[in-house]
Amino acid sequence: MATMPSHGLRHLSTGQPSLRKFRFSTTVASVASSFTEDSEQAQPNTNNRADINNNNNNKPSSYFPKRGQSLELVCESLAFKGKGLCKVADTGFVVMCDRALPGERFIGRVTRKKGNYAEVTKVKTISPHWDFVDAPCEYASYCGGCKTQNLSYEAQLRAKEQQVRDLVIHVGKFCHTDLESLGIMKPIVPCDIQFHYRNKMEFSFGSQQWLPKELITEKNDGNKNYALGLHAPGFFDKILNVDKCLLQSEPANTVLAAIQDCWRDEQLGLSPYNARSHAGFLKHLMLRTGRNLKTGLPELMVNFVTSSYEPELLKPLVERIKVIPEVVSIVNNVNTSVGNTSVGEQEYTLHGKSNIVEILRGLTFQISANSFFQTNTYQAEVLYKLIEECAGLKGDGSEIVLDLFCGTGTIGLTLARRVKHIYGYEVVAQAISDARLNANLNGIHNATFIQGDLNKIDESFGNNFPKPDIVISDPNRPGMHMKLIKFLLKLKPQRIVYVSCNPATCARDLDYLCHGVMEQNIKGCYDLKSLQPVDMFPHTPHIECVCLLELSDHSS
């Protein structure tokens, strides 16, 4: 499976309150609203003013470019998934282009029509973007992971902050003046470490190597049926072969290079898994970096995901990498399904330990091959500190905290020593076991972790825990289900700390909690006190936000 988490509004799934369709005044908002509609819109217009081949006049309101049409465009800003947002000259019509960066003038070809905007691919740059820097990674211009490596880091931060601001104004319906004058909107927190920050990378083995057209003759090493690397953007079966990734730790790159150096040797009889025919042995290589508790130095877990259990076949690879000093754990997840997931039905330890550990906010967390852990440990410290500040705990051990979407319990556990009790809810059973294990590991006895689907809560939800003083909610990309929004509006905890990895669904949920849900005659009862974007993943489009909501004075 591809390694980089892909964020975006595409993940607004059914059952979630969808982004409502407003007539937004800005382009960001108009595109945000249309991510819920996948239908193609309006008949393509053949007479397009911006068409570089056909410059006839056209009414802006009925304008829609044709598929295959070429347009001369200037990228205005970065929007969802780091796509460049452009407007077609004279019409205001919005097009989105992957890898177009602010200020760049280019020729784009229309590939897809989506709702009220179109997607284009870049054919040729006419003049480059502002804030250009050389990308240190050789794959940066075509790997799906780092899309903005050649935009200066300051410009990346500006673009992310602006995206959050636009969404909270146009989707969340908060007033721009209030956000600024009341100091609600905080400047984005940069990540001090901009490379080698990921503690987990998942590479895929594949039988089809992918290269961008322009590099096929230059780079092809004749081994195009054997690839180990990242999924080519948009392909489930084609792999961009990579020898190193600048987002993972140095020892992880040493392991990747050692495996790349030997796994193709025909004598070893190793075959990459073919995602189409479902034949082949090696599926994924997952590298996780933790820490040695005594020395503080990095320790590595190497996880081979294979389609069957054949330890003899893996032995030469194990022998090769177990001598790398940082490698303390080599495991094999056996996944016999035709799907592309890396979680095995069976896990075997081939060398050393079956897990590694990491320290976060002074606590020790045990990480196994498939357990969830924040992927940027350094910035998770920063994020969790902000969460703790927002929670505003009295520290006298009197408060109850409800930790929704708790994963392996990390947020709740880092707060546990200052509160009366933590109640954590999470859908993944394994994560709940890990959370309980982590509580024991750290001698924490005032935390209860419960497995449950927060999209399926009923009237009885809330009977199993006392009324919380503070709720932490850290949902995944689709945000909170309407059932959970209604529950919180009825429960009325004094304070909600909303942690989000998708600013669009975050803006929507803030709107519901603060302004209510008009269509359902539900009143909001919270004030947004602060909205803090945090950059957890430099060079990628992902944005984290920590929001503080307090019960309004007029809420009763």
Ligand X SMILES: C[S@@+](CC[C@H](N)C(=O)[O-])C[C@H]1O[C@@H](n2cnc3c(N)ncnc32)[C@H](O)[C@@H]1O
Q: Would you list which residues are annotated within the binding site for S-adenosyl-L-methionine? A: 374, 405, 426, 474
Rounded Cα distance, 513 and 475, in Å: 15
Of residues 283 and 542, the one with the C-beta less far from ligand X:
542
Please check whether residue 163 is in contact with residue 503, taking contact to mean a CB–CB distance below 8 angstroms. Answer: yes
Whichever of 115 and 468 has its CB closer to ligand X, that residue is 468
Terminal alpha carbon distance of the chain: 49
Alpha-carbon distances, residue 111 vs 9, 27, 218, 459 (angstroms): 19, 19, 27, 47
Query: Is the CB of residue 153 less than 8 Å from the CB of residue 538?
Result: yes
What is the dihedral angle through the alpha carbons of 128, 134, 136, 139, rounded to the nearest 10 degrees? 20
* C-beta of 354 vs 476, nearer to ligand X: 476
Nearer to ligand X, 95 or 404 (CB): 404
Cα gap 166→279, rounded to integer Å: 47
Residue 501 annotated among the catalytic residues of the structure: yes
**Least distance in angstroms from the C-beta of 384 to ligand X:** 8
167 to 125, 358, 505, 549: CA distances (angstroms): 29, 35, 9, 17
Report how far residue 280's alpha carbon sits from residue 462's, in angstroms, rounded to the nearest whole number: 49
**What is the three-state SS of 467-495?**
CCCEEEECCCCCCCCHHHHHHHHHHCCCE
Residue 499 Cβ vs ligand X, minimum distance, rounded to whole Å: 7
Q: Closest separation between CB of residue 449 and ligand X, Å?
A: 11
How many Cβ atoms sit within 10 Å of the Cβ of residue 229?
23
Burial call 188-216: b when 16+ CB within 10 Å, e when fewer: bbbbeebebbbbbbbbbbbbbbbbeeeee
**Least Å from the CB of residue 495 to ligand X:** 17
**What would you measure as the largest C-alpha separation in the chain, in angstroms?**
75
Closest separation between CB of residue 290 and ligand X, Å?
15
Q: Which two tokens stand for residue 465?
A: 């825990």
Rounded Cα–Cα distance for residues 313 and 334 (Å): 13
Site of tokens 């594949």: 206
**Interface with ligand X (CB under 6 A):** 372, 374, 405-407, 410-411, 425-428, 431, 453-455, 474-476, 501
Annotated binding site: 374, 405, 426, 474
From the CB of 541, what's the least distance to ligand X, in Å?
16
Reduce the DSSP state of residue 41 to 3 states and report it: coil
Give the neighbor-by-neighbor strand order of the sheet with 327-334.
239-241, 227-231, 200-206, 282-291, 298-306, 327-334, 346-352
Q: Look at residues 176, 193, 261 and name the one whose alpha carbon lies nearest to residue 223.
A: 261
Residue (323 or 429) nearer to ligand X, CB: 429
Q: Which residue is nearest to ligand X (CB)?
A: 407
Helices within 118-249 (DSSP H only): 153-170, 176-181, 216-219
Q: Report the residue number, 41 or 476, with the smaller CB distance to ligand X.
A: 476
Closest contact distance (angstroms) between CB of 67 and ligand X is 36
Find the shortest distance in angstroms from Cβ 455 to ligand X. 4
Catalytic residue chosen out of the listed positions 86, 143, 390, 501: 501
Q: Name which of 6 and 476 has its Cβ closer to ligand X.
A: 476
Length of the chain: 556
Instruction: State the Cα–Cα distance between residues 440 and 432, nearest whole angstrom.
Output: 13
User: How many Å apart are CA 80 and CA 153, to the nearest integer?
Assistant: 18
Question: Residue 371 Cβ, how far from ligand X at the closest point, in Å?
Answer: 10
Residue 398 identity (one-letter amino acid): S
Catalytic residues: 501
